[in-house]
Amino acid sequence: MKVKEIFYTIQGEGRNAGRPAVFCRFTGCNLWSGLEEDRATAQCSFCDTDFNGGDKYTEEELIDAIDTLWPKGHNNKFVVFTGGEPALQLTSRVIYFLQKRGFEVSMETNGTIPPPAGYYWRTVSPKAGNTLNVTSGSELKVVWPQDIDLSELEKMNFRHRYLQPMDGCPDSLRITLEEVMKRPAWKLSLQTHKILGVR
Catalytic sites, residue numbers:
23, 29, 44, 47-49, 108, 193
Q: Are 88 and 5 in contact (CB under 8 A)?
A: no
Q: Which residues contact 136 (CB under 8 A, 6 or more apart)?
A: 156, 157, 158
| Torsion (CA) 4, 169, 194, 1 in degrees, nearest 10 | -10
Question: In angstroms, how far is CA 170 from the centroid of its own chain?
Answer: 23
Residue 6: CA count within 13 A, CB half-sphere: 20
Single-letter code of the amino acid located at 113: I
d(CA 48, CA 166): 9
- 125 near 148, Cβ under 8 Å? no
